[in-house]
Amino acid sequence: MKTVQQFLIHHQPELYRALQQLDDLPVGNDALTLTVVGLVKAGKSTLLNVLTDNLEQEFFKTARSRETRELKTLRVGQIDYTDTPGLDAEDTDDQVAFDGIVTSDLLLLCHSMGQGELDQPTLDYLSRISQHSQRPLADRLVCVLTKAEQPDEAQHEFEALIASQLVELCGGEPDIFRVSANTYLSGVRQAQPLLIQYSGIPALQDYLQQRVEVMLVDKEQHRAEQRETLANTLADRLQEMIAQEEQAFADQHQALSHRVDQLGQTLSQVRTALQRR
């Protein structure tokens, strides 16, 4: 096997890399990445602490000023939860966030109900994500309207407006949830199931779990198709190499046979000449 690998490394490096890629493709259901994006102080870190059950001892640090300055990830079950700097953070942090966002399986757009409709910088940022992503944004974007403590008519109007903004941007309407982390925390601390339910957090958790289960099955099916396609491509390329080597061997054998025949003829001529003397 080492001899084959060495031959490919020196003579067919692209084919060798493809073999390595096939070997490196993961097998089985691993975790999906869920990345939370939104403006500074949109409640991203608080939401992640609630979703990951880090209620009293925060894993995703929250503060009055911007706390998150780089990507921070925590795996819980089959989900890698990732916090990012705010979309209105400094340019260097923004680029760090963007690099992780474009490859994420799911995007949670956190938007505070107190901010009204989505502002233009947020829409521009989502458009930029869409342009650099291989998958349509509508297939992986979930809008979470945070700090929805007291639902009123104005909030319903803002939700409808935000939905229309996202339809125009994505070409499809993402699922939208209104949640209140503060209401959820109060319900947990006071052992009040109604408050917990009213917070909207359980509905979001159930939705995410069901969505992840479906996506994991689809992801493994996609990987299986990738493996099959890559394996077939490699098999075809190797078959071409074998045919080329066989043809080269046949050509070389023919050339050698011709040389042997020529040498034989020359030898006969030499013997004939000697006999004449």
Give the rounded distance of the alpha carbon of 108 from its chain centre: 14
In the predicted model, is pLDDT for residue 40 greater than 70?
A: yes
* Pairing relationship of beta strands 72-76 and 175-178 according to DSSP bridges: unpaired
Residue 250 burial class via C-beta count within 10 angstroms: exposed 0-12, middle 13-18, buried 19 and up = exposed
Residue 71 near residue 95 (C-beta atoms within 8 A): no
pLDDT value of residue 19 = 66
pLDDT value of residue 4 = 62
Rounded to 5 degrees, what angle do the CA atoms 144, 147, 151 make?
95
pTM higher than 0.85 for the full model? no
Query: Dihedral, CA atoms, 96, 97, 98, 100, nearest 10 degrees?
Result: 90
pLDDT value of residue 25 = 53
Residue 137's nearest CA partner among 160, 112, 107 is 107
Task: Grade residue 276 by pLDDT with cuts at 50, 70 and 90.
Answer: confident
Q: Which has more pLDDT, 234 or 84?
A: 84
What value does the CA radius of gyration of the chain take, rounded to a whole number of Å? 31
**Mean predicted confidence (pLDDT) in 95-120:** 82
Residue 125 near residue 161 (C-beta atoms within 8 A): no
pLDDT digits (tens, 9 = 90+) for 144-202: 998 887 766 667 788 888 899 999 988 888 899 999 998 998 999 999 999 999 999 99
pLDDT value of residue 277 = 61
pLDDT value of residue 65 = 46
Q: Which has more pLDDT, 93 or 160?
A: 160
What region, left, alpha or beta, does residue 171 occupy, with left being phi > 0 and alpha being psi -120 to 50 degrees?
Answer: left
- Quote the percentage of the chain above a pLDDT of 70: 79
pLDDT digits (tens, 9 = 90+) for 238-263: 788 788 878 888 888 888 888 877 87
In the predicted model, is pLDDT for residue 131 greater than 90?
A: no
In the predicted model, is pLDDT for residue 91 greater than 60?
A: no
Q: Which has more pLDDT, 100 or 26?
A: 100
Residue 265's nearest CA partner among 253, 277, 275, 273 is 273
Task: Please state, in angstroms and rounded to a whole number, the distance separating the CA atoms of residues 45 and 41.
Answer: 9
Task: Grade residue 105 by pLDDT with cuts at 50, 70 and 90.
Answer: confident
pLDDT value of residue 68 = 47
pLDDT digits (tens, 9 = 90+) for 216-225: 887 777 667 6
